[in-house]
Structure 1
Amino acid sequence: MATITLPPPNANYQFSILTNIFKQGLPNTDADTFDYAKENFGLIHQSYPSDATLENAEDKTQWQRFEHYIRDLNKNAEDGIVYKILYLGRHGQGYHNVAESRYGTALWDSYWAKQEGDEHAHWADAHLTPIGEQQALDVNAFWTSALTHAKVPAPEKYYTSPFYRCLQTSWLSFHNLSLPASSPFAPIVKELLRETNGVHTCDRRGASSIIRSDFPSYTLEPGLPETDVSWTPDHREKPTEHILREHWCLEEIWTESKDKQFLSITAHSGTIAAVLGAVGHRRFALPTGGVIPIAVKGERLRG
């Protein structure tokens, strides 16, 4: 198996996980059975060193005290160190997910993933199924409750993969929430957040003009081509290549969002796995519509 050295030699940042913050990072937490919605998003109940500087800390929720802790860490951090909380959400069920279940992974990878669809559905740049739409609405219901009761900090900036299933998921998850006026739902469409690239037609991006037409409130990164020029039918991106890609993606996010500490990222199973790998988090597979929060330290190495 190929290995990877992080950060890469020409990196501007080094990323690492803050440990013992979320249950999802603990080695004994079972990803197959863990329900973030029933576990306070996984936030471990504990006191923080910053509690002493929070007025009426004893009356605050765990998340309010944690938010104060993160903001206090950033306020007192050494130059070049920035902490961010990433809410990583996987898209809801897409038609390609249904097809892989129908044919089995071996036949899917060897044949069907290379096709545009079958008699049941079209899955190139796959859209959400009705089940996938409901999964995204379930995320919306979670956030509605979490913002009101647990006082989970709302994302201060939103990022999404350019694939249609993620555009749909982010919209259904967030667009109608009661959000702070200073942090509206205004997603940035980021190419580096795309799924593992190549071979599979479900991972070939649709036209950028379709994104602009169907999601007019979303902002596309400058220079995003009309067609997907990076996808190839004969090379599938390796896991180590994907981890490196997400390292560079995080570098861009840290640079673009210097003053934002809580960020939402809507992406894919492979992309989220690569982000976890890039920051040194344990493997934690998400179901379609799943979400995992992680606390990341970014340390600038140069620049």
Structure 2
Amino acid sequence: MDVTISPGLYPLHRCKTLHLARNAQGVHNVAGDIDFSNYLSEEFFDAHLTPLGWQQVDNLRKHVHETGLSKKIELVIVSPLLRTLQTAVGVFGGEGYKDGVDVHPLMVENAGKSIRPAISSLYCPPFVAVELCREHLGVHPCDRRKSISEYQPLFPAIDFSLIDCKEDSLWEANYREKDEEIATRGLKFLNWLWTREEREIAVVSHSSFLYQTLGVFGNDCHPSVKSEICTQRVLQNFNC
């Protein structure tokens, strides 16, 4: 059956620009590449970034500043897991934090086994943690988060107020979220983004969440566009 694909027009003032980034390499990724069963290990509960992961963060930060994105982004939305929090503040945060400055740091020194200096919240957009953009839920301890009360001292300038339950009430030990459930959660997240007044937003999430969410779109486009939407990359830019 022939399918006719017609172009669509949308006024720019009705659109938001989303910059989608996944977390940099975590210790669970390295272990999982060696043996997939390592994803079941409690050793990697709420996994932190590797040294290579921090190098990826630094490289993406350089790109964000060289392209001028750092001056355009009005809001950073981040999944409340350690590796995404580290990635978000490393890429989109301010410069090194100095004592005596009258603002809370985005990240304190050495947060999450990072061996990194503190990161300032000066001259950068607000950061908000949102549960809806979390990684594939269930079974894998690396995708279970700590209590919000443990994150707040490590990331003082991140807003965790939209998270209703301090403890992780979404992750289940014996049930792994289905792909279609991730996509449904992703659409709910995007609908929530429409309620925000900011027009240009960075979202720091996870590969499975982004892949399943973006896979819902593009069925009314040329196959080449569909393919581009669903390609996994470090940073994706979309108008929606």
Q: Into which bin does the TM-score normalised by the smaller protein fall?
A: 0.7 to 0.9
Query: Which residue of 9, 21, 26 corresponds with 1:89?
Result: 21
2:131 equivalent to 1:185: no
Partner of 2:85: 167
Secondary structure of the structure 1 residue equivalent to 2:77: strand
Give the conservation status (yes or no) of the 8 Å contact 1:153–1:262.
no
The Cα offsets for residues 163-187 of structure 1, whole Å up to 9 and x where unpaired, read as 100000011101126xxxxx83221
Q: Quote the Cα distance in structure 1 between the aligned partners of 2:212 and 2:39.
A: 21
Partner of 1:292: 236
2:208 equivalent to 1:264: no
TM-score scaled by length of structure 2: 0.76
Unmatched segments (≥5 aa) in structure 2: 1-6, 96-122, 219-225
Secondary structure of the structure 1 residue equivalent to 2:211: helix
Letter in 2 for 1:277: G
2:66 equivalent to 1:145: yes
Runs of 4 or more consecutive aligned structure 1 residues displaced over 6 Å after TM superposition: none
Partner of 1:232: 172
Letter in 1 for 2:158: Y
The Cα offsets for residues 64-110 of structure 1, whole Å up to 9 and x where unpaired, read as xxxxxx9x721xxxxxxx3111100011100010011111xxxx2xx
Q: Quote the Cα distance in structure 2 between the aligned partners of 1:152 and 1:232.
A: 37
Partner of 1:273: 211
Partner of 1:242: 182
Partner of 1:73: 12
- CA displacement at 1:294 relative to structure 2: 1.2
The Cα offsets for residues 246-268 of structure 1, whole Å up to 9 and x where unpaired, read as 1011111111x13x211100010
Give the conservation status (yes or no) of the 8 Å contact 1:157–1:264.
yes
Please tell me whether Structure 1 or Structure 2 has the larger radius of gyration of its CA atoms.
1
Percent of aligned pairs sharing the same letter: 29
The Cα offsets for residues 134-176 of structure 1, whole Å up to 9 and x where unpaired, read as 10111110011111xxx78621111000010000001110112
Q: Quote the Cα distance in structure 2 between the aligned partners of 1:207 and 1:175.
A: 23
Give the conservation status (yes or no) of the 8 Å contact 2:133–2:209.
yes
Q: Quote the Cα distance in structure 2 between the aligned partners of 1:225 and 1:172.
A: 26
Partner of 1:113: 39
Unmatched segments (≥5 aa) in structure 1: 1-17, 20-48, 50-69, 75-81, 118-122, 178-182, 297-303
Q: Quote the Cα distance in structure 2 between the aligned partners of 1:224 and 1:85.
A: 27
Partner of 1:14: none
